[in-house]
């Protein structure tokens, strides 16, 4: 499969998926979007509400370019917080594409390590960040009370409606610990209704550049 690289407004790269015909991140800034949705309103938000915790289990839907994972690995080191990061991906990109993307980032060696490390094993990327990549469909998730934080980064409900249903959000609800959090760029009404039906308590937050809103969902 041929993934093309697209340079976004903040200078960071994203990918274009040839089958789904979707970009992996916003054209208004890939790194700034990830930073806003997953780091600031995901990891930092959860840590703020769980000040006594020094370790966190994260599940990411869609490893993709590795951008979310790279920013999280960096944040783990900065904050000295232990992170176990489990990510599912059903269409992994090639190492060559990953190397090409990495040239646009200062932390290029982290991104390359994240892509080069084997699938299905727990691999330590730095002193605080361990990744477990699984070449699996996210629909297969069957964990129970395992994760503190979910990065829900599927392609849009228009291109993958099957990944934004009440049933999927129920699986993620089960997989999440009490006081856990799910964060997503999506603010669509039908998605918020599905999240609520699955038991999540939702809040609309200001979106990243070019997007009015985003959504966080909490398990209480
Ligand atoms: C919006 S992109 C994720 C971007 C990624 N988080 C990053 O930082 O680059 C969505 C990802 O989900 C993957 N994907 C699509 N369907 C999937 C499925 N059923 N299970 C797991 N991954 C899937 C795509 O291949 C793509 O990598």
Supply the pLDDT for residue 193: 98
| Mean pLDDT, residues 191-200 | 98
Q: What is residue 3's predicted lDDT score, i.e. its pLDDT?
A: 86
C-alpha 127 to ligand 1 mean position (Å): 26
Phi, psi of 6 (to 5 degrees): -120, 130
Q: What are phi and psi of 178, to 5 degrees?
A: -60, 145
What's the CA gap between 166 and 196, in Å, rounded?
A: 8
What is the pLDDT at residue 203? Answer: 98
Quick one: tokens of 31?
A: 């790194």
Top mutation candidate among 14, 36, 90 for ligand 1, by most atoms within 8 Å of CB: 90
Residue with CA nearest ligand 1 atom 11: 62
Q: Can you give the pLDDT at residue 54?
A: 87
Closest CA to 138 of 157, 162, 166, 113: 162
In this prediction, residue 9 carries a pLDDT of 97
Phi, psi of 83 (to 5 degrees): -125, 130
Question: What is the arithmetic mean of pLDDT over 65-80?
Answer: 97
The answer on pLDDT for 191 being more than 80 is yes
Boundaries of every domain in the chain: 30-218
Q: Is the CB of 89 under 6 A from ligand 1?
A: yes
Whole-angstrom distance, CA of residue 71 vs CA of residue 60 = 13
Give the architecture (CATH level 2) of 30-218.
3-Layer(aba) Sandwich (3.40)
Single pTM value for the model:
0.98
What's the Rg (C-alpha) of the chain?
A: 16
What one-character DSSP code corresponds to residue 200? P
Atom of ligand 1 nearest to the CA of 91: 25
Q: To test the ligand 1 pocket, which listed residue (62, 63, 67) has its Cβ within 8 A of the most ligand atoms?
A: 62
Question: What would the pLDDT profile of 162-187 be if each residue is shown by its tens digit?
Answer: 999 999 999 999 999 999 999 999 99
For residue range 108-130, what is the model confidence (pLDDT) as tens digits? 899 999 999 999 999 999 999 99
Question: Between the CA of residue 70 and those of 49, 103, 149, 209, what are the distances in Å?
Answer: 23, 13, 16, 21
């Amino acid at each position: 499969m041929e993934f093309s690289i697209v340079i976004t407004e903040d200078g960071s790269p994203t990918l274009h998926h040839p089958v789904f015909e979707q970009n992996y991140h916003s054209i208004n800034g890939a790194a700034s979007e990830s930073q806003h949705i997953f780091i600031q309103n995901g990891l930092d938000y959860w840590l703020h509400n769980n000040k006594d915790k020094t370790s966190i289990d994260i599940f990411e839907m869609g490893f993709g370019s590795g951008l979310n994972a790279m920013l999280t690995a960096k944040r783990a080191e900065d904050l000295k917080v232990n992170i176990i990061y489990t990510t599912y991906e059903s269409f992994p990109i090639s190492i060559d594409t990953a190397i090409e993307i990495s040239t646009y980032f200062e932390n290029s060696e982290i991104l390359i390590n994240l892509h080069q490390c084997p699938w299905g094993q727990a691999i330590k990327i730095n002193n605080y960040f361990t990744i477990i990549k699984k070449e699996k469909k996210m629909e297969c998730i069957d964990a129970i009370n395992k994760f503190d934080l979910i990065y829900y980064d599927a392609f849009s409900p228009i291109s993958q409606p099957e990944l934004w249903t009440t049933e999927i959000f129920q699986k993620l609800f089960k997989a999440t610990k009490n006081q856990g959090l799910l964060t997503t760029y999506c603010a669509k009404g039908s998605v918020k209704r599905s999240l609520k039906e699955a038991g999540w308590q939702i809040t609309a937050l200001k979106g990243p550049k070019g997007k009015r809103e985003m959504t966080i969902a909490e398990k209480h």
